[in-house]
Chains A and B, each alone.
Chain A
Amino acid sequence: MLGPVLRSYKAGSIIYFIDDKGSDIFVLQTGRIMLISNSLDGKTEIKEEVHKGEFFGVKSALGLYPREETAQVLTDATVLSFNIQSFEAFCMNNTRIVMQMLKVFSGQLRKVHRKVRETLGQIADQENSIELLKTAEYFFKQSEKEHAKYALSAFLKHYTNSEWKDRATQLLNLVNSGQSYPLTMSSIEEEMEKKQSNNSFRQPQNFNITSDVKNTGSMQPPPLSSFGSSHDSHIPDIATDLDLSMTDDLDLSLDDNTQLTPSQIYYDGVNAFSQQKWDEAIAKFENVLSIKSFNNSSDAQFIEKSLFELGRTYSKKGDTTKCIEKFSEFVKKYPRSEMVKKAIIGVAEAYEKRGDKARAASLFNRVVTMPPKDRESNYAQQQVERLK
């Protein structure tokens, strides 16, 4: 496999022009290089200087599309030039850099999507819930009952406060009992008109809608914040990909500790956990739990998750006392959580580690008896057998 090639360019020369096709990827070594692009509406020219050690030309090379900027050499410069194969080989051995690029790219993608949505003046969140319900009803009408069941359950799970909850519940009951779509039921559109005309007589009462909006609108934990945390780049040379045509692409707000949301702190914790930095992870999860006020209800889910993760982290760390304490607290607080079986298993394993096999077995047994029968029940069953 050929590695990258070192190339020299004279001041004033051009490495590539906007709209060129090319599959080379570059890293600036010495000298100065400017990337010149147009804003998407074509109204302004954007100039950005490449920092030493930064990649450029990555996206257009990987995506096989025309260059989005002109790379002009300001002072005599040397660059490392990769072709796609050598770049891929490089990536295989430098996961951290790939992760950083993913982070940058995802930030860019998020921004473009947001802009598209803004431009389209789009779709209030509550409309998504209605669209999901309509999709469910479409499946039901087509007698695709499993699909209908799935979509209705998804609706009821995600939009607990929806004003359409009763309708969805009613339909789900019908599917479950094997009946077909009730032809007598008025369509969602008709219902909406009815509601609207009702509302014109009374004060608007659609608290449901607004709480819906809040719910979904805020369900946007910082994308990919679970990627390598932004402060610990001990790779001095290659900081971030600079193949940017939008100036403000790097979402640096993540670095600002003062404004971190519960979800951001939570994902920082998850990130630390994945790097086996137990103490750091514990600090992050504790931090989430210490937050007293929440902007919205979806933030609250991160309390639940953080408490669970605390149990897990202490278990990894080998602190059985704390592990039992946290998992038990979780089970007490969130008896209906999807993760409750996992938490009980966590407690059982901690007791076993301490040599208390009887207690461990009885806890595993408790998991076995809890419906529904799933992977956790099977696992617990195996453990019960093993401990006999």
Chain B
Amino acid sequence: MQLSGLSGKFGKEFEAGRIIFCEFEPGDSFYLIQSGKVKISKIVKDKEKTMDVLGPGDIFGEMAILEEQPRSATATAVDTVNTLHFNRENFVTLMTSQPQLAFKLLVIFTKRIYDARRRLMILLLDDIQAKVADVFLMLTEKEPNSNELKEILLFTTVDDIAHWCGEPVEKIHPVLSHWVKIGKLDLFPDKIHVMHLNDCRRIVQNKRREMKDF
């Protein structure tokens, strides 16, 4: 991308180890990495968990231009990081002068919309078993040819599943342990082996059909 001309106007440099923004901090700007690496992390149960490491060309913090919501994660410079820094005020200037960036953002938004809608579909199910099954399906969908898969090893935790279901962990546990007991699941501290994806598909489909008829 030919963005060099913008560095003077919008450039912002962070030394290695420097925090760029902090989880729960209200934000109104976003960043495009020009060089260096940025770690995206969250604090979960008193432990910092790395969600992603981003590199040149990646955009982060873009949700802030939608609404001044608190940041959903912490961004830290891994090494010396050069970014272009944008807010609502310089956004139009940037987008009109850099159509490739606007296009990139368009693609990111389509993905975000899909993910958010997919998440909402889970939350709208009115049955805890169906919710858990649909979380497994959602996580499976990230794999290529997900429709044909019969089983999957998901690198996720019970806490994550509870988070996606929008339910407290105490409510998720009985469902999972029941499935372990009847041989549909294997639970590990850091992963879950789902052995019968077709059962999950059936549970979710039936639930959706039932809700529709209702």
- A residues within 8 Å of B by Cβ? 40-43, 58-60, 62-63, 65, 68, 88, 91-93, 95, 98-99, 101-102, 105-106, 108-110, 112-113, 115-116, 119-120, 128-129, 131-132, 134-136, 138, 142, 146-147, 150-151, 154-155, 158, 216, 219-221, 223-224, 226-228, 267, 270-271, 274-275
Contact = CB atoms under 8 A, between A and B. Distances in A.
Contacts of B23: 131-132, 135
Nearest to B207: A42
B1 to A, nearest CB: 12
22 contacts: A40-B120, A41-B121, A63-B113, A91-B102, A99-B92, A102-B106, A105-B110, A106-B66, A109-B109, A112-B113, A113-B67, A113-B69, A119-B124, A131-B23, A135-B43, A150-B22, A216-B70, A220-B68, A221-B68, A223-B67, A224-B65, A224-B66
Given A95-B102, A151-B22, 14 more contacts: A62-B106, A63-B114, A91-B103, A93-B99, A98-B99, A101-B106, A128-B26, A132-B24, A151-B25, A216-B26, A221-B67, A223-B67, A224-B66, A274-B92
Contacts of B105: 102
B202 to A, nearest CB: 15
Contacts of B209: 42
A147 B22 contact: yes
B95 interface: yes
Contacts of B88: 221, 224, 226, 267, 270
B107 interface: yes
Contacts, number: 165
Contact of A227 (B92, B110, B123): B92
Contacts of B208: 42
B212 A42 contact: yes
B114 A59 contact: yes
B85 to A, nearest CB: 12
Interface majority SS on A: helix, strand, loop or mixed? helix
Contacts of B116: 109, 112-113, 116
Nearest to B20: A150
Q: Which 3 A-B pairs have the closest CB atoms?
A: A63-B110, A132-B24, A112-B116
A246 to B, nearest CB: 9
A91 B89 contact: no
A62 B110 contact: yes
Interface in B32-68: 43, 46, 48, 65-68
A128 B68 CA distance: 12
Given A43-B211, A109-B109, A95 B96 contact: yes
